[in-house]
A and B are shown apart, each in its own frame.
Chain A
C-alpha cells in the first residue's frame, strides 16, 4: 500500500462499526457531512475529509416494507442523521409496515452474521 494514501475509507468505516460506532466524514473545506465514505468531498471537491462519530439520532426520510412469500415483511428505510447525512438502514422494534416517514429514530448496533449492522429503533424504545 502506498503510505501516502492512508487507510482505505471503507476500511475505516468498517473499523468504526466493529467498535460499535457509526462513522462518517466531515469536509474540512466546506463543512459538509459526507456519507458514504470516500477520498473526495462530492460537494466542494476538497480532499480534507476527517472522520467523526455520529451520535446516532435521526429521522426516517423514506420507508418501505419488503414482502416475502414465506416470512413477515422486513423494513428498509432511509434515515437522515442529525449530523447532516443520509443512509440506508432499517427500523426495528415495530412491524415493518408501521414504520412512518418522519419518525425519530436512534441507532442500535446489530449484527448480520459476522458483520456489524447499524440499524435504528424508534426513539424511546431504548438502545
Chain B
C-alpha cells in the first residue's frame, strides 16, 4: 500500500495543510499542486526577463516550513512548483535545504514539458491570434518514474497532469493491470484540488456548509492505495472537514467533461463504473476505475499574448436608491462608451447581474451596488480613457459615486493543442545538498 497526501490545490493555497500532512508521518509523499495557467504565464514572463527565473515565486515560503518535517517523517515532496523553470526550482530548493541544514537532500527536476520549439508540430484547436508566449505539454506519471525509482527526496516539475503527480508515487506498488493504474490516476484526480474534496467549495442539498472555524482549518485529504488501484480517502485524525459520497463524487467529476473518457497523459479514464462507499466518518472507499488505453497525443496549453490590455473598473453607490443610481451610472457609461465595439465592452452591476447575467433575480433593495466596466483596449492610453470615464462619474454622474477601483490586465488567450507523444522527451536534472 502507498499513502499520498494533498498539500496544496493551487499556487496560492494555504501553507499549513502540507505541513500537517508531512508531520503526521502517514504519507509516503505529500503532493503540492501549484500550477494554474495564470501561474505558468507569470513564470514564463519572469523567465523571459531572466533566464534563471521562472520557478514559482512562492517556493521559499511554501517549502521553508515543510522540508524539515518531510525529511524527518520520510515523506517525499512532489510538486509542479518548477513552473516555467524546474531546473532553477531544484537549485533554489537545494539552496533552501542547505540553509535549513538538510544535508544530503536529493532533488530531481523533471524537464521537457516546454514544447515551444516544437510549435510548428502542434495541432491547435483554435487559430493562434497574437504572439505565442509559451507552449507546454502535459507530462504523465512516466516522466516522474525514474526520479521515484532513484529515491528523490523532492521531485519538482513544470507542466504535468495533476493526477500524474500523485499517481507517480503509487505506480511502483501497483499490480501492473491497466485498471490499477486507472485507480491511481483517479486518486490523483480526487486529491488534486486539496480541500475541495473534503468540504471546501461545497454546499449540501439542504444548504448546509461547514462552519467558519472548520473551513478556516480545513483538513486536506490523503489516500491509501492498494495494488489493485482501489483506495481509501480520509482526513487526519481530528481535522475538520466533510469527506463523503457527495463531496467525493463532485470532485471525481470536476472538470472531466465526458466521464467515460477523461483524457490524461497516462490513460483515458472511464469513471462511469466507479463506486464511492462511505466507510467511516470522513472516510470513503473508491474502486472500479477503468480505462480505454493511452492517448496517442499529449495535450498542450498554448499561451497567446494579444496586443493591448483589459481595463477593469468599478464605482460603488450606497444608501437609499443605491441600485437606481448604479443603474443610472451604467446608462451614462453606455452613452459615453457608445463608440467602442460592442463585443469589446461589458457593463454590469455587481450585486445584480455581473456573474450570471441576473438569471437569479430577487435582489431588490440592495444597500450597496457597484457598476462594473471591462473593456478591451488597444493601449494604455485607451485604458486610461475608460478609467477616466468611470472616475468622471464622481463629478458628473449620479449622486454619491464612491469606492472606485481599477486594474489593467494584459490580454491573454489560452489555446489547447495536441502533440505526438513521441516528440515529447522528458528527462531529469539532479541537484543534491552537500
Q: Check if A and B associate.
A: no
Q: Interface on A for B, CB 8 Å cutoff?
A: none
